[in-house]
Amino acid sequence: MLQALGIFLVIAGSGFSILGTLLNNVYLAHRAAMLIWMLSNPLLLIWAVGYGLGLWDGGLSAAALAMMYGIFAITNFYGLWKAT
């Protein structure tokens, strides 16, 4: 049960973060991106605290975070390139 909660938190939080970064870096919609990130940050904070307390393991959660940060890196470079 707790494992499922951890997976939900990290997938939902990562999904909101990915949407926020796409809005920010690709569409340059900074305010909309901040509103989306406002949703993702508490979800990922709760996930991180639960992970630190040993309530769930890394597994799928680590893969979701790796994908999120990969998308962050790619769209960050794209956004910088597009802005110049």
Q: 63: domain range?
A: 2-83
Q: Tell me how crowded residue 55 is: count the other CB atoms within 10 A of its CB.
A: 14
Specify the pLDDT at position 51: 94
- Contact yes or no for 63/53 (Cβ under 8 A): no
> What is the number of domains present in the chain?
1
pLDDT tens for each residue of the chain, 84 residues long: 899 999 999 999 999 999 999 999 999 899 999 999 999 999 999 999 999 999 998 788 889 999 999 999 999 999 999 887
Model pTM? 0.88
Angle at 14 between CA 83 and CA 6, to 5 degrees: 165
Query: In the Cβ-directed half-sphere of 46, how many Cα atoms lie within 13 Å?
Result: 15
